[in-house]
Amino acid sequence: MADCWTIRTEVPRSVAQAALLAHEEAVDWPYDWVLTGMEIADDRPEDWFVEVYLPKKPTAADRKRVAALFAGSSPNFTVTKLPDEDWVTVSQSGLEPIVAGPFYVRTPDFPPVLGTIDFVIPASQAFGTGHHATTAGCLAMLAAMKRRGIAVRNLVDIGTGTGLLAFAALALWPRALATASDIDPVCTGVVEANAATNNVTLGAQRGELTMVVADGMADPLLRARGPYDLLIANILAGPLEELAADFSSAVVPGGSVLLAGLLETQERAVRAAYVRAGFRLAARMVNGDWSILWLRKRTRQPLHRASASR
């Protein structure tokens, strides 16, 4: 297995969030470097860590590139070589189960709980075990949409990762056509394995899930299976803004988009992009420092009747 190293620092929340925003603006950021940031502990909401995973021993130039995300700050970095194991799997192993709405998400290390919609998501090479605030928030928002009577006949999960959000949507709307996509080819095998574990049928019929590798909406199969009445995208704020028009074209009037992966400080810009694309806010949720947005596409305004008087 290839080497994996981390560059880590612990900083105040405001500094971490500024670094995450700077990362989104860094157009030359290496594609195989993964940056994460979150609270160190639930009882320390103002103390965050930021960690970069990279597939080589970092050079002085690499450290300088990471430090550039912290303009105006001088954080102390710790460089560590990880064991020869997949770092995502290691980081996710032993995670406690979570409850989000009716959903109970666990690794195989824990037993099921009766009366819940139970999903087993092993530690894997893809993101989306449900433990991140954005994924858990999406699960809760999907349940809220169901409670409010939203009917879904055709859904798509963009940036599916482990497939969890697509699985959850199918559990709530079991007769829907369902499509999941991710830009990372490794997710195909991960989704297939998780589908088998959770008795989700892969296929192209109603109640089944179709998986495709795609960058945003740039795939003929995604376009052919639309338009959708539910589009889920738990990705990043920058891509969410860029994809607003594409998502609008892919969603039926009155349809819903569920957006996550954005910090609360990024919400205003994302919402503005979707208002311009023809959406209105239906509900929002803040989970930690992360915003989860449910927006609905506006229907065509009725034509005004011409006045009978002259």
Per-residue pLDDT tens digits for 214-241:
989 989 999 999 999 999 999 888 899 9
pLDDT (0 to 100) of residue 45: 81
Looking at the chain, the domain(s) classified CATH 3.40.50.150 span 92-297
pLDDT (0 to 100) of residue 154: 98
Residue 140 has phi, psi (to 5 degrees) of -65, -40
Per-residue pLDDT tens digits for 152-199:
999 999 999 889 999 999 999 999 999 999 988 888 998 999 999 999
CATH number of the domain located at residue range(s) 92-297 in this protein:
3.40.50.150
pLDDT (0 to 100) of residue 301: 43
Q: How far apart are CA 187 and CA 192, in angstroms?
A: 8
Q: How far apart are CA 132 and CA 174, in angstroms?
A: 25
Instruction: List the beta strands (DSSP E) in 110-250.
Output: 117-120, 154-158, 177-182, 209-213, 228-234
pLDDT (0 to 100) of residue 82: 72
Task: Give me 247's structure tokens.
Answer: 């998502």
Q: Please compute, for residue 113, the number of CA atoms within 13 A of its CA located in the half-sphere on the CB side.
A: 13
Please check whether residue 231 is in contact with residue 251, taking contact to mean a CB–CB distance below 8 angstroms: yes
Please check whether residue 216 is in contact with residue 243, taking contact to mean a CB–CB distance below 8 angstroms: yes
Taking 70 as the pLDDT cut, the residues of the chain under it are 1-3, 27, 31, 83-95, 123-132, 300-310
Instruction: Pick the closest to residue 183 from 247, 132, 235 (CA basis).
Output: 235
Q: How far apart are CA 53 and CA 191, in angstroms?
A: 23
Looking at the chain, the domain(s) classified CATH 3.30.70 span 5-84
What H or E segment, with its residue span, contains residue 293? Answer: strand 290-297
CATH 3.30.70: does it fit domain 5-84?
yes
pLDDT (0 to 100) of residue 247: 97
Instruction: Pick the closest to residue 259 from 249, 276, 238 (CA basis).
Output: 238
pLDDT (0 to 100) of residue 302: 40
Residue 117 has phi, psi (to 5 degrees) of -90, 105
pLDDT (0 to 100) of residue 19: 87
Straight-line distance from the first to the last Cα atom of the chain, in angstroms, rounded to the nearest whole number: 81
Task: Give me 27's structure tokens.
Answer: 């157009």
Q: How far apart are CA 22 and CA 13, in angstroms?
A: 14
